[in-house]
Chain A
């Protein structure tokens, strides 16, 4: 605007000067002025073109734009949003273009519940040793439902859903989101027990935080994409918390051992049991078969026996005796003494391995 203004002013001056002085002697000067006037005119036209051309603007793929004409949005609600491409608006001060990142996922972190650490310290992992207590305003933390102090922090990923509300509804929407996230962390922690937050229900805690932020998301014109929550016990109590974890792991190990013992014991008992039963079955089969075989042999022998029982007995006995005597290593024959009395024989019995038996057989 002011550019145009300045360019207009010098324009009339060179034209006015040659009119007033129609002196032929200064024709060279007039020529010079004329040509400079032409240049000024050209510059003026060029400026107007540039002025109008400056109304072109580009909207990227990840953003939307809104044109404000005399401060008011052009179009209503969603129609006011300009998508990616080349657009034109009147130059300032008539129109103003406001660009809003939209498809891009934005990120905000809450460290209201985290202990004091600088990004450098976090990267290097070198933290100064913790003091005996937590100083309000320096060390952040949250209080759990069972009144434990823990540290927790969250990172929220969100997308702008309603760009007009996001930009024209809040002086700092991202600050508002951060406040909401802080509040969600605090409130959710107040309903969870310390062990749930840290160990047994980490996902549930995260889910609850996300849900709570999500409830406020509509108000803010955003959609929550993801919410990552990280929690840790106070550094002052790290050792004792680690010990609990260790004790619990040990407990699990002891239980695992017990369960494997249980498996082993029951399995081997099952195996033994089936061996016992199978043995009993085969013993039964063997027994029944042998009895049946005996019966068959009996039936076969009976006719022979009935012909002459005495002879049969004698034959069988002699046969057995013969077999028995074949097995015997040495044989001694002691004849009857002359007076007809049997010779007295004394036997010294040693303790012998159970394989050996003395079997007096005196029919």
Chain B
């Protein structure tokens, strides 16, 4: 009855497989499961792995994704504390922290329903928190006055608190503003303002450039003149030094001032006569005194 044995084994294997399918369930990594027995939660939290169960209709298994899920809000127009209309969009990373509470809160543990709930919470908290801050808390040149992070933290805290109070089984992992805008009509006004700011910058650049250039040039001229004046002064000083040095030779001339004067006069004449010059002498001046009284011929005609 070898054939029968094979049949039996095959049958047994099949039964085992079938039983495993019926009496066990797998929870995948990143998932968490809740088991209900006749509708009552008996296994509030099943970690990843293989688990035993009673088949339907005794026990029912609900599996939930335990990973952080993204949810982003649509644009929402809110008023800041200083009555400026601001368009914001918030994103959150949320996860199911308490699967049984989650199952109790939302029919069949519907993620869509949970997101709807989250959206309405975010909407009201967004309006509340934005309404407590002026626009200068959102955008500011001074990092100390900027409260961007604080605003996000406030929102997160508020949403978190409400989720806990209502015991939704949801937890916020992070929350952030991912879009900050102004209503369409305001953008036009902002453009106009930006335009006039730019125009101011243009004229400032032009004027500042000119003024600065003039300053630089004037400064350069002043510096150049100063340098030249200093050089002149230095030159005068040097010449003075020369005179002083030359004066040291004066005692030599003192030995015979008469000769000295004579030599100077001679030099002066020599220099004066270097140029084209006309000289008038009478006949008493040597060497013309030689002609004195020699000539009596009639005066020649003047050239």
Chain A residues packing against B (C-beta within 8 Å): 1, 5, 8, 11-12, 15-16, 19, 66, 68, 70-73, 93, 96, 112, 132-137, 140-149, 167-172, 175-176, 179-180, 182-183, 186-187, 189-191, 193-194, 216, 219, 234, 236-237, 240-241, 243-244, 247-248, 250-252, 254-255, 257-259, 261-263, 265-266, 268-270, 272-274, 276-277, 279-281, 283-285, 287-288, 291-292, 294-295, 297-299, 301-302, 305-306, 309, 313-314, 316-318, 320-325, 327-328, 330, 332-336, 338, 342, 345, 355-363
Contact = CB atoms under 8 A, between A and B. Distances in A.
A240 B220 contact: no
Given A133-B187, A149-B194, A170-B68, A140 B263 contact: no
Nearest to B264: A294
Contacts of A292: 246, 249
A167 B29 CA distance: 10
Q: Report whether over half of chain A's contact residues are helix, strand or loop; otherwise say mixed.
A: helix
A342 B217 CA distance: 69
Q: What 3 A-B pairs have minimum CB-CB distances, sorted nearest first?
A: A284-B242, A273-B231, A251-B209
B26 A327 contact: no
Contact of A277 (B214, B234, B269): B234
Given A183-B177, A234-B191, 16 more contacts: A71-B29, A136-B183, A143-B180, A148-B194, A167-B30, A176-B70, A190-B138, A247-B203, A254-B213, A258-B220, A273-B234, A283-B239, A292-B249, A318-B286, A342-B282, A361-B281
Nearest to A186: B180
B213 A287 contact: no
B184 to A, nearest CB: 5
Contacts of B121: none
Contacts of B167: none
A193 B141 contact: yes
A179 B205 contact: no
Contact of B286 (A182, A309, A317, A357): A317
B17 to A, nearest CB: 7
Interface in B261-300: 262-263, 266-267, 269-270, 272-283, 285-288, 291-296, 299
B217 A12 contact: no
Interface string B20-52: 000000111111000000000000000111100
Interface residues of B, number: 129
Contacts of A216: 174
Given A191-B140, A244-B201, A270 B227 contact: yes
Interface string B181-198: 111110110110011011
Nearest to A170: B68
Contacts of B141: 145-146, 191, 193
B266 A320 contact: yes
Contacts of B87: 136
